[in-house]
Amino acid sequence: MIEITERAEVERILSDPASRVPPAAIAAAPVPSPLASFRAGVSRFVNGAEHDVRRTRLDALLDGLDHAALAADAAARTRAATPIRDLPVAVLAHALGFARPDALPALVEVVAAAYPFGEAADPDEADAAVTALLEASAALDADERVLRVQLLVQAHAATVALVERAVALAGSSDAMVSTRSLLESVLRDDSPVPATRRLVPGGGAPVVLRLDGPDREATADRPARILAFGAGARACPAPHHALAIAAAIVDTLRTGRPRDEESSRDADPR
């Protein structure tokens, strides 16, 4: 297995249109399982025109979400002592109009564990979770239901890790350090998604691309580049949504108040 760690090289490969994602395996079974059908229907495991179409639909769904409303809901749920692990999915599911948003994080957790490689510890449990999530989606169109569930699955572990790491960093940092700069430190130094994979031209097996490797071009004046949200046409489409939710949770845990209620001391224009 080839692993590329240098951030400049990783960024170059991610931005190269000739790099492809390893596609979801075409199911050998006559009737593919719900998990296999789900993986085949998302944007994450297809290339070319199919990816472009799904990505455009995802972007439209994300454009319909109001960042301030996401932040307000995240703060309210944090104040109501919802566990950090459940927060990002509950907030997004509520905003996307899913039925019973509070019941969905446990289902998403199961699907997210099987999502990257299509392998579940308990395949029946994973299939049941996919089916329940699709049923809870507000969309009438089956393709869009898959994409709405994809948003929950993609958001879950990465946003939880971002929040948990920023909270841990807050514990060892000066109280004056802004939440935004805590989040930025985590993204730069401790990427919540540590690696991704690509098939590169002329190569055989997928190469592993580290998002948390060294940046040899970094200097005292030029901090290491941030690859935590990926790069190129397949970069995460939701960094602003993720940061709105994460900042509201971390702010609320630190101060009991969401950022827009804070004094100018914490107003950070970035």
Q: Cβ of residue 123: shortest distance to ligand HEM, in angstroms?
A: 23
Using CB under 6 A, which of 43, 137, 178, 179 touches ligand HEM? 43
Among positions 117-146, residues that touch ligand HEM (CB under 6 A) are none
- Of the pair 125, 190, the CB lying nearest ligand HEM is at 190
All residues at 6 or more sequence positions from 230 whose CB lies less than 8 Å from its CB, including other chains:
14, 193, 196, 211, 236
Among 74, 104, 149, 158, binds ligand HEM (CB under 6 A): 158
Among 71, 162, 166, 249, binds ligand HEM (CB under 6 A): 162
Beta-carbon contacts of residue 246 (< 8 Å; ≥ 6 apart): 88, 159, 162, 163, 166, 183
Q: State the nearest-atom distance from the C-beta of 30 to ligand HEM, in Å.
A: 28
Which of residues 19, 33, 35, 44 is near ligand HEM by CB under 6 A?
44
Q: Is 58 in the site for ligand HEM (CB under 6 A)?
A: yes
SS3 content of the chain, % helix, strand, coil (to 5): 55, 5, 40
Beta strands 195-198 and 207-210 are antiparallel
HSE of 242 in the Cβ direction (CA atoms, 13 Å)? 24
Euclidean distance between CA atoms 197 and 214, whole angstroms: 18
- 151 is a contact residue toward ligand HEM (CB under 6 A): yes
C-beta of 113: minimal distance to ligand HEM in Å?
A: 16
Q: What is the spatial distance between Cα 21 and Cα 167, in angstroms, rounded to a whole number?
A: 33
Is 19 near ligand HEM (CB under 6 A)? no
Residues 90, 82: contact at Cβ < 8 Å?
Answer: yes
Q: Of the listed pieces 99-107, 114-122, 171-179, 226-234, which binds ligand HEM according to CB under 6 A?
A: 226-234
Q: How far is the CB of 262 from ligand HEM (least distance, A)?
A: 22
Which residue's CB comes closest to ligand HEM? 236
To the nearest 10°, report the CA torsion of 48, 52, 58, 61: -170
| Tokens 């179409």 -> residue | 53
Determine, following the binding rule CB under 6 A, whether residue 179 of this chain makes contact with ligand HEM. no
Q: Does 210 bind ligand HEM (CB under 6 A)?
A: no
Q: Identify which range of 95-103, 167-175, 213-221, 229-237 contacts ligand HEM by CB under 6 A.
A: 229-237
Beta strands in the chain (DSSP E): 3-4, 195-198, 207-210
Binding residues for ligand HEM (CB under 6 A): 14, 43-44, 55, 58, 92, 150-151, 154-155, 158-159, 162, 187, 192-193, 196, 211, 228-230, 234-238, 241-242, 245
